[in-house]
Chain A
Amino acid sequence: MKPVGLEHYLVVSGLLFCLGLWGVIVRRNLLIIYMSLELMLNAANLALVAFSRFNNKLDGQVMVFFVITVAAAEVAVGLALIVALYRKKQSAHVEDLTTMKS
């Protein structure tokens, strides 16, 4: 078997990204969709760390640091949006986001 190299990490990252994307497209619960979005961001993080290691440069890691923080802020805002919507509609489902389609 080949020793573990960059491409192995990239395959894992690609798998995670696609799983996340699949979740976003197929799942209907907003919370699970958010988690899928997190998976997509994490996939990018894994790719960045791997590239950073194999290019022997630190800036990829710096970027991951920023991405993690951004993701945390994004989740906070997103969850607040869910709470705000839930107050109005008692639902956390994408299918119920149809008030404007008149």
Chain B
Amino acid sequence: MNFDYAQLFSAAIPETVVVITAFLALLVDFIFLRNLPARTRTSLLATVTAVGCLSAIAWMGVSHSTYRLDDAIFVVNPMTQLVKQIILALTIFTAFISVQTNFTRHLGEYFILLLLASAGMMFLVSAENILAIFLALELLSLSLYVLTAFNKQSVFSAEAALKYFLFGGMSAAFTLFGLSLIYGVTGEMNLTAIAAKLAGKTTDPLFYVALVMTVIGFGFKVAAAPFHMWAPDAYQGSPTPVTSFIAAGSKVASFFILAKILFTGFAGAEGDAGWHHYISGWTPVLAILAALSVIIGNLAAISQKSVKRLLAYSAIAHGGYALLGILTADQKGFASLIYYVTTYALTVIGAFGVVAVVENYGGDKLSDFAGLSRRAPILSACMMVFMLSLAGIPPLAGFFGKFYVFTSAIQLGAKSLGLLWLVILAIAMSAVSLYYYLQVLKQIYVVDASDKTTVSVALPTQFVIVALAIAVVVLGCVPNLLVGKILAALSLG
């Protein structure tokens, strides 16, 4: 046995850096920071996190190595590196948003879990093997369950975590059973080999069972209707920075891996050339999920009183739009999917950042936002950008995300599928969504405040929120900044 450990290590340096940063955060907190005031502690730990993540990002920017561990347990190529960089950036933003809140005194533990969750996402992005996928998914989920329960004063937090855990456990069981059947049918663990085994054969009925189970499992994970029941409660109950992390980071990673499983693993054709052919088995299932998510998410969001809950339902709807990107099942659809989830993640972190600030002055009810424009003009302007972007108003990033997804779906519709009805439905529903996003803005700009105190924002949080708003505008005006990168990575990978 001569296994090349050194090569594996050098390929996994970014992950190693993140894990070491996680340990450092815990150690620094234990040794030096115990007696400082909470906000200073959080700022310092967020800085540690940022330094670690930035060095990992920089490393991935510099080294252009590709690597493929036996059986595709760990795959490094430009595409995975790009997605990992996005995820780490989201982690940094989340870390700085946490500065604003004071839901816990166990900050070292909070940051180690946050960073290990990011490491889990990174491993997930690099996994093309069903064992590695399952394991990374579990690392991510376990961290998120604990993070959700982090606010020990609040009964909401405990309840949300328990619900999240129950549905997450179901999801894991379904995914695992589905994946194990796939392993059984093909005798292979790695997605490319699975695709090769499936190519050209009449498909076994057992494979369809496996397929449906896997899709159900991931449906829970990405909170696609009708498997979305956990999302509103989990979003509302968890500490707000954690909510933003679940909504942003976990969504990017889950959608990426779902797309990879469906495109690579279940692509009926040989290997990477299989972008255009796929087993039609999963298309109708996914189309139903997408349609339901878009309808249920948008309609349920209208009647919400809590902004976190409203954003949770809007997350379900946005999950539906993203599924549309997966449905197109070609390279362009994949690129549009990545662009869409990335811009969505940036926007939603910003929106939750604003919620985290406002929460300190009451709660996350819509009425707590009343008259915010007088109390915190900069913050309100940022919130307007985020809400309009989520609603898909040009020239913001959210508009181009939807635009790309819809156009790639329509172009495909001409071919065979008739995805047109779904696109029309999605467009109609995003018109509906405008109503509840404007509802939030109405509270902020039109309704008078009962409480006139100016809102004070921690400097790092303010900085991050403004930066995110600028990013949303810039990515909307010059979408090629990101799209170009994605396409370049795709053509190289």
Q: Which residue, of B71, B158, B180, has the highest number of chain A Cβ atoms within 10 A?
A: B180
Task: Please provide the chain A residues from 25 to 42 with a CB less than 8 Å away from any CB of chain B in the complex.
Answer: 30, 33-34, 37, 40-41
B142 at the interface (CB under 8 A from A): yes
Residues of A within 8 A of B170 (CB): 24, 37, 40
Task: Please provide the chain B residues from 21 to 47 with a CB less than 8 Å away from any CB of chain A in the complex.
Answer: none
CA distance A97 to B181 in the complex (A): 34
Q: Which residue on chain B has the smallest CB distance to residue A34?
A: B169
Task: Please provide the chain A residues from 61 to 77 with a CB less than 8 Å away from any CB of chain B in the complex.
Answer: 62-63, 66-67, 70, 73-74, 77
Q: Give A7-51 as 1s and 0s: 1 = Cβ < 8 Å from B's Cβ atoms.
A: 000100000010011001000001001100100110110011011
Q: Which one of A6, A44, A87 contacts B176 once the chains associate, using CB atoms below 8 Å?
A: A44
Q: B173 and A63: CB pair below 8 A?
A: no
Residues of B within 8 A of A34 (CB): 169
Q: A63 and B160: CB pair below 8 A?
A: no
Task: Please provide the chain B residues from 104 to 132 with a CB less than 8 Å away from any CB of chain A in the complex.
Answer: 130-131
Q: A51 and B180: CB pair below 8 A?
A: yes
Residues of B within 8 A of A77 (CB): 142, 145-146, 165
Q: Which residue on chain B has the smallest CB distance to residue A70?
A: B138
CA distance A55 to B465 in the complex (A): 53
CA distance A94 to B142 in the complex (A): 20
Task: Please provide the chain B residues from 169 to 226 with a CB less than 8 Å away from any CB of chain A in the complex.
Answer: 169-170, 172-174, 176-177, 180-181, 183-184, 187, 189
- Tell me, rounded to whole Å, the shortest Cβ–Cβ distance linking B247 to chain A: 17
Q: A81 and B165: CB pair below 8 A?
A: yes
- Tell me, rounded to whole Å, the shortest Cβ–Cβ distance linking A97 to chain B: 5
Q: Which residue on chain A has the smallest CB distance to residue B153?
A: A88
Number of A-B contacts (CB under 8 A): 113
Residues of B within 8 A of A44 (CB): 173, 176-177, 180
Residues of B within 8 A of A97 (CB): 159, 162-163, 233
Task: Please provide the chain B residues from 67 to 120 with a CB less than 8 Å away from any CB of chain A in the complex.
Answer: 71
Q: Which one of B162, B173, B189, B233 contacts A81 once the chains associate, using CB atoms below 8 Å?
A: B162
Interface of A is mostly: helix
- Tell me, rounded to whole Å, the shortest Cβ–Cβ distance linking B364 to chain A: 12
Q: A48 and B180: CB pair below 8 A?
A: yes
- Tell me, rounded to whole Å, the shortest Cβ–Cβ distance linking B194 to chain A: 12
Q: B184 and A51: CB pair below 8 A?
A: yes
- Tell me, rounded to whole Å, the shortest Cβ–Cβ distance linking A13 to chain B: 8
CA distance A100 to B177 in the complex (A): 32
- Tell me, rounded to whole Å, the shortest Cβ–Cβ distance linking B156 to chain A: 6
Q: Which residue, of A34, A81, A82, has the highest number of chain B Cβ atoms within 10 A?
A: A81
Q: Which residue on chain A has the smallest CB distance to residue B129?
A: A59
Q: Which one of B155, B165, B177, B233 contacts A43 once the chains associate, using CB atoms below 8 Å?
A: B177
Beyond A51-B187, A70-B138, A73-B142, whether A85 also contacts B236 by CB under 8 A is no
CA distance A82 to B169 in the complex (A): 14
- Tell me, rounded to whole Å, the shortest Cβ–Cβ distance linking B243 to chain A: 13
Q: Which residue on chain A has the smallest CB distance to residue B155?
A: A88
Q: A100 and B166: CB pair below 8 A?
A: no
Q: Which residue, of A30, A40, A44, A87, has the highest number of chain B Cβ atoms within 10 A?
A: A44
Residues of A within 8 A of B233 (CB): 97, 100
Residues of A within 8 A of B160 (CB): 100
Task: Please provide the chain B residues from 314 to 335 with a CB less than 8 Å away from any CB of chain A in the complex.
Answer: none
Q: B138 and A62: CB pair below 8 A?
A: no
Q: Which residue, of A20, A84, A100, has the highest number of chain B Cβ atoms within 10 A?
A: A100
Residues of A within 8 A of B158 (CB): 81, 84-85, 87-89
Q: Which residue on chain B has the smallest CB distance to residue A64?
A: B180
CA distance A21 to B220 in the complex (A): 15
Q: Which one of A10, A37, A48, A88 contacts B169 once the chains associate, using CB atoms below 8 Å?
A: A37
B291 at the interface (CB under 8 A from A): no
B161 at the interface (CB under 8 A from A): yes
CA distance A47 to B178 in the complex (A): 10
- Tell me, rounded to whole Å, the shortest Cβ–Cβ distance linking A26 to chain B: 13
Q: Which residue, of A21, A30, A63, has the highest number of chain B Cβ atoms within 10 A?
A: A63
Q: Which residue, of A20, A59, A82, has the highest number of chain B Cβ atoms within 10 A?
A: A59
CA distance A21 to B169 in the complex (A): 11
Q: B183 and A84: CB pair below 8 A?
A: no
Q: A37 and B131: CB pair below 8 A?
A: no
CA distance A40 to B156 in the complex (A): 28
Q: Which residue on chain A has the smallest CB distance to residue B170?
A: A24
Q: Give B228-243 as 1s and 0s: 1 = Cβ < 8 Å from A's Cβ atoms.
A: 0000110011000000
B473 at the interface (CB under 8 A from A): no
For the complex of A and B, the 3 pairs showing the least CB-CB separation, nearest first, are: A40-B173, A51-B184, A55-B187
Contacts A44-B180, A77-B165, A100-B237 aside, 8 further interface pairs with beta carbons under 8 A come to A24-B170, A59-B183, A59-B189, A66-B131, A81-B161, A84-B149, A99-B156, A99-B159
Query: CB within 8 Å of A: which residues of B?
Result: 71, 130-131, 134-135, 138, 142, 145-146, 149, 152, 155-156, 158-163, 165-166, 169-170, 172-174, 176-177, 180-181, 183-184, 187, 189, 232-233, 236-237, 305
16 A-B residue pairs with CB within 8 Å: A41-B173, A41-B176, A43-B177, A48-B180, A48-B184, A51-B183, A57-B187, A67-B176, A70-B134, A74-B169, A74-B172, A77-B146, A78-B165, A84-B161, A85-B155, A85-B162
